[in-house]
Amino acid sequence: MTREEAIDRLNELLDSTDAATVNTSMRLPHALRDAAALAVQEFGVAPSTTVMTANALRSMLEAVAMQAVLDLHYTEYPETRPSLADLAVAAAELDEHPLASQPDVIRRYAREIVERHPNASPEDVLLWADARRYREARQAKEAA
């Protein structure tokens, strides 16, 4: 089965309206089972732990399908993959970070951090930016 066929089949199964169920046996850690029961009973997150488990499994499978499509897209069109700087700018905007309105500054700090930390995340870039800005402000204050 090709990657595309697997994605199509996964989506087909997730879109199915067939209401038939099947018994299955899953081994869960006790603490996870107890946490699920507590969440259902005390927080009303689902009518039952079975429904909650099925919903969680569905959510995970939908995320797998979306990631598979995205990975396939980036394989076919690598130039569309966002850079670390692009992701850091987007994270800043979503988080309403103080530097969100200064994407050029975020991009500069993204270039800086990858020199020391090649596997940096967008959040690492923002933390680096905060630390660098704090240091620069402190040095300016000391120089004055």
Condensed to tens digits (0 to 9), the pLDDT of residues 45-96 reads 999 999 999 999 999 999 999 999 999 999 999 999 999 999 999 999 999 9
CB 6, CB 68: distance < 8 Å? yes
Confidence of residue 143 (pLDDT cuts 50, 70, 90): confident
Cα separation, 85 vs 126, in Å, equals 10
Q: How far apart are CA 53 and CA 48, in angstroms?
A: 9
Indicate yes or no: pTM above 0.95: no
CB 132 within 8 A of CB 143: no
